[in-house]
Structure 1
Amino acid sequence: MATYDLIIRNGNVVLPDKVKKTDMAIKDGIIVAIEDDISDTSKEERNADGYYIFPGLIDIHVHFNDPGRAEWEGFASGSQMIAAGGGTTFFDMPLNGVPSTTDTKALLEKVEMAESKSVVDFALWGGLVPGNIHELKGLADNGAIGFKAFLSESGNEEFERVDDLTLIAGMKEIASLKKILALHAESATITDFLTKEKVTNGHLTADDYLASRPIAAEVEAVERAIAYARITGCPLHFVHISSEEAIKKITAAKAMGQDISVETCAHYLLFNHNDFKDKGAIAKCAPPLRKSKEQEKLIRLLIEGEIDMVSSDHSPSPFMLKDPTAHHLFSAWGGISGGQFTLLALIELAITYEIPFNKVAALIAGNPAERFNLKTKGHIEVGKDADITWISLEESYTVSEKNFFAKHKQSLYMKRTFPCAVKLTMNRGSVVFENGQLVNRMEKGQWIKPQETKMSTSS
């Protein structure tokens, strides 16, 4: 009788502290051995010679729009895209579905839909909006991974930004629930004022859009949120931070003992304002792509360890909402479609800037798992789920409509060539993507619930 279900031999395994050429054994979806020349028998063996085996990416920031707007993406196509990018777990944001995930009923309806469609594991954010503070406990008790709020307009009428009183009261409640509040940190006062001024005067270029959402708006919102968190004791997670000055404010607050984590996105690291000017609305996001000097600063902060994790903020829409014949840059939908490319982007940066692969693994898997206390995820270790992806550095990967698994193919990443490729993705020991193709399997992804909020990022 076979000891293991699978032995993977000769892979360059990206462990938490190093990369080691070794074997790995899997049984019942769990990593049960990592050692040289495993001699026991298995039902199957695979030779990973020449490949780098990373922990499966955990993308804590995607917008899949299910239920209600599945024509924008949906759990089926979105989870397939995540798997094709080496991902094994995603956290879906609460705002783009109809209804928004702001009460227990909406959460459980979304769970049922995701369980029936997703090919990889998932967690779900709850929302903090004006008028729903009394709903937060129910959302927490029923498995929300944390809460998300906007300090500027969300772009969706169904999900209102928080005013200051809602924000500070919500923080107090979230702290009592031992949860994390994720914040889109841009000052509505600043962005609304500047946007109105630009649009009223017919100033609608990419330069104008960048000017309407300045770094000052991000910094002001970050500082205000940090002050409120200091008063309430609320753990914070800042999403898609785009500027050095904002990161420095967060780093200083961490040094003072505040419970804060911060992400940036792959598109802020790979692209800049010149790409926005060149590509138009498909490169529009909020905060906007910054100028090249700011991009360079962000990369340096990533290398120096001041950024805890990197996510995609995959925020797609039908092309008609970005069509330049129907919309100017201010009225076009603001969101980057690119959830398949975060790991590839980080490996490209690692090659370019000589970043150790174990640090890449921390940014895309280890730190997210530790921050949100996903005890069985995030690292290639004995006892963890066999969530892994094989990466080839011998192949390049050029993005095309054929190999981009998102529902809508208009993307900032289209035609970009990465110096690496995803060979295979396993979720709990089961292959979901291999050699450019999705693999059908009997079981679907599982809903991952948090246990207790924990801050243990390895910055």
Structure 2
Amino acid sequence: MTVPYDLVVRSRSVLVDGGWREAAVAVRDGLIAAIAEYDEELEAHETVTLTEGQVLVPGVVDTHVHVNEPGRTEWEGFTTATRAAAAGGVTTIVDMPLNSIPPTTTVEGLAVKREAAAPQASVDVGFWGGAIPSSLGALEPLWNAGVFGFKAFLAPSGVDEFPHLSTPELRRALEEIAGFGGLLIVHAEDPDALDAAAATPTSSAAAGASGPSSSPSAAPDGRDYDAFVASRPDAAEQDAIAHVIDGVRATGARAHILHLSSARALDAIRAAKAEGLPLTVETCPHYLAFSAEQIPDGATQFKCCPPIRDEANRDLLWEALVDGTIDLVASDHSPSTAELKFAGDGDFQEAWGGISGMQLSFPAVWTAARERGIPLERVLGWMSANTAAFVGLAQKGAIEAGRDADLVAFAPEEEFAVDATALAHKNPVSAYDGRTLHGVVATTWLRGRIVHGGAGELLDEGTRAPLGELLSRPGSTD
């Protein structure tokens, strides 16, 4: 007797093996059990046929999310963050070790995070650990407890409980991580370059990577966006990335550059990859969707560190994505309360830094890619297949028999106007507010079930495959 499938989803356009085909995707026990012909008769408890204009794609895997719970849950918590994720076609997130209190820099801190997330998660949730000066020498137990790697700042993070690493401490962290085969992910801005920029009369600096500035030498007009960009110059990223590359070369540790905003660092990254160094790189939707020329003075909803740079820079980031120099795109969803985000009435020195955009990240990147003639499958390569491979989630990132049935019905040509008050994020603040985007998420399934809340699982060492799959595919974006 044939056992019925739990779910069958039929679509005239399913992303399979990097291309599009008509298919019926059959699900049993949370896994993709078969990919059949569109018209094949399949017995199932539920059958869904996508409407014209909808395509079936794998769920997005967002490897850069700040949930902030516990400790700063008023900024964002696991209930709102994971509901926003599902609404945007994101079925897996990996949570950053700050800005929660305590930060995820100890095994005990990880346990607190997991306890907070477990009853609330609507999508699957994994966790990054943190490499701060006090945690060096004790990273392996946290790795063994299930984090996917360790985040480090090379300049002040903006929160006191997560201090940055000096260059010698960066080397120590890489040496330690190389010893157990882990991964260091780096906020790469150099504090000396930031200090030098803050000393110039054109800088409206923010000394912390996320938070407000305390620099007494900042320019008087903190509303000037160009002055804010000047306060976090390309040289800060270039110098910090050079330190990371030197450390990777010396230790053999695997490292990842977070939220690359400066195209001037691309030559060094290309050279490091050509050398065969185990280095990967991401950029973010806001660097691909916006340019400095579009940002009005005082519009602190656009403040992030490193900053959104000019249009020519954005074009070079897109080129680097297409040619494989940049490996993946992750949201860097970094929300705060509206009070913090608009502190100082448009003063970039005072406002909190970070773009709240996880729910919109997939449509935002697709919209910008579509304008450039880049097909949807490339976007999903950067935001699903490559992100899953990056953190070793072999069950995620593709519609393939045996993988988790994390599926999204997506209408790529349908438009919508962003209304920040209608988003599932906790605080109604968005750099995309009022912007028209292409790509509507119609339905999100997590392991074959429509996401309604509370169905997510916590990912740990049992779900983390050996790292390095992405590195074994140089230049791959599919």
2:22 alignment partner AA: K
What is the DSSP-based 3-state SS (H/G/I as helix, E as strand, rest coil) of the residue aligned with 2:103?
Answer: coil
What is the DSSP-based 3-state SS (H/G/I as helix, E as strand, rest coil) of the residue aligned with 1:42?
Answer: coil
Identify the residue that residue 416 of structure 1 maps to in structure 2.
435
Pick one of 126, 130, 139 that aligns with 2:129.
126
Identify the residue that residue 457 of structure 2 maps to in structure 1.
445
CA RMSD of aligned residues (A): 1.6
Pick one of 183, 186, 196 that aligns with 1:180.
183
What is the DSSP-based 3-state SS (H/G/I as helix, E as strand, rest coil) of the residue aligned with 1:106?
Answer: helix
Cα deviation 1:231-273 (Å, max 9, x = unaligned):
0111011110012221231121111111111100000001011
Superposition map of 1:351-366 within 5 A: 351-366=370-385
Does the 8 A contact of 1:103 with 1:139 survive in 2?
A: yes
The alignment status of 1:284 with 2:298, answered yes or no, reads: no
Q: 1:215 to 1:428 in 2, by over 3 A?
A: same
The alignment status of 1:269 with 2:283, answered yes or no, reads: no
Cα deviation 1:355-411 (Å, max 9, x = unaligned):
232222210110111121111111110000001111113421211134311011111
Q: 1:222 to 1:212 in 2, by over 3 A?
A: same
Question: What is the CA-CA distance between 1:129 and the residue it aligns to?
Answer: 0.6
Identify the residue that residue 31 of structure 2 maps to in structure 1.
30
1:299 alignment partner AA: W
Pick one of 222, 228, 242 that aligns with 2:261.
242
Does the 8 A contact of 2:7 with 2:26 survive in 1?
A: yes
Whole-Å Cα distance in 1 between the matches of residues 182 and 273 of structure 2? Answer: 17
Does the 8 A contact of 1:9 with 1:49 survive in 2?
A: no
Question: What is the CA-CA distance between 1:327 and the residue it aligns to?
Answer: 6.5
Identify the residue that residue 454 of structure 1 maps to in structure 2.
468
Whole-Å Cα distance in 1 between the matches of residues 123 and 140 of structure 2? Answer: 27
The alignment status of 1:260 with 2:279, answered yes or no, reads: yes
Identify the residue that residue 435 of structure 1 maps to in structure 2.
none
Identify the residue that residue 43 of structure 2 maps to in structure 1.
41
Superposition map of 1:219-368 within 5 A: 219-278=238-297, 280-325=299-344, 328-368=347-387
Question: What is the CA-CA distance between 1:348 and the residue it aligns to?
Answer: 1.3
The alignment status of 1:150 with 2:153, answered yes or no, reads: yes
The alignment status of 1:95 with 2:98, answered yes or no, reads: yes
Whole-Å Cα distance in 1 between the matches of residues 134 and 460 of structure 2? Answer: 27
Identify the residue that residue 161 of structure 1 maps to in structure 2.
164
Cα deviation 1:175-199 (Å, max 9, x = unaligned):
1121110001111111133225435
The alignment status of 1:395 with 2:414, answered yes or no, reads: yes
What is the DSSP-based 3-state SS (H/G/I as helix, E as strand, rest coil) of the residue aligned with 1:116?
Answer: coil
Whole-Å Cα distance in 2 between the matches of residues 209 and 349 of structure 1? Answer: 24
Question: What is the CA-CA distance between 1:32 and the residue it aligns to?
Answer: 0.8
Structure 1 residue ranges without an equivalent (≥5): 433-438
2:4 alignment partner AA: T
Identify the residue that residue 208 of structure 2 maps to in structure 1.
none
Whole-Å Cα distance in 2 between the matches of residues 385 and 148 of structure 1? Answer: 27
Whole-Å Cα distance in 1 between the matches of residues 401 and 56 of structure 2? Answer: 15
Whole-Å Cα distance in 1 between the matches of residues 152 and 71 of structure 2? Answer: 20
Identify the residue that residue 405 of structure 1 maps to in structure 2.
424
Q: TM-score scaled by structure 2? A: 0.91
Does the 8 A contact of 1:121 with 1:448 survive in 2?
A: no
Does the 8 A contact of 2:121 with 2:453 survive in 1?
A: no
Does the 8 A contact of 1:281 with 1:332 survive in 2?
A: yes
Does the 8 A contact of 1:244 with 1:297 survive in 2?
A: yes
What is the DSSP-based 3-state SS (H/G/I as helix, E as strand, rest coil) of the residue aligned with 1:395?
Answer: strand
Whole-Å Cα distance in 1 between the matches of residues 386 and 166 of structure 2? Answer: 30
Does the 8 A contact of 2:297 with 2:346 survive in 1?
A: no
Does the 8 A contact of 1:78 with 1:407 survive in 2?
A: yes
Does the 8 A contact of 1:78 with 1:406 survive in 2?
A: yes
Whole-Å Cα distance in 1 between the matches of residues 284 and 292 of structure 2? Answer: 15
Identify the residue that residue 220 of structure 2 maps to in structure 1.
202
Whole-Å Cα distance in 2 between the matches of residues 30 and 146 of structure 1? Answer: 26
Whole-Å Cα distance in 2 between the matches of residues 131 and 324 of structure 1? Answer: 31
Whole-Å Cα distance in 1 between the matches of residues 456 and 155 of structure 2? Answer: 36
2:433 alignment partner AA: M
Identify the residue that residue 236 of structure 2 maps to in structure 1.
217
Whole-Å Cα distance in 1 between the matches of residues 262 and 345 of structure 2? Answer: 31
What is the DSSP-based 3-state SS (H/G/I as helix, E as strand, rest coil) of the residue aligned with 1:420?
Answer: strand
Does the 8 A contact of 1:276 with 1:284 survive in 2?
A: no
What is the DSSP-based 3-state SS (H/G/I as helix, E as strand, rest coil) of the residue aligned with 2:358?
Answer: coil
Does the 8 A contact of 1:13 with 1:20 survive in 2?
A: yes
Whole-Å Cα distance in 2 between the matches of residues 17 and 207 of structure 1? Answer: 40
Question: What is the CA-CA distance between 1:80 and the residue it aligns to?
Answer: 0.6
Structure 1 range deviating more: 207-216 or 7-16: 7-16
Whole-Å Cα distance in 2 between the matches of residues 38 and 89 of structure 1? Answer: 30
Question: What is the CA-CA distance between 1:451 and the residue it aligns to?
Answer: 3.0
Identify the residue that residue 18 of structure 1 maps to in structure 2.
19
Cα deviation 1:48-92 (Å, max 9, x = unaligned):
142111110111001110111000001110111111110000011
Q: TM-score scaled by structure 1? A: 0.95
Whole-Å Cα distance in 2 between the matches of residues 140 and 342 of structure 1? Answer: 28
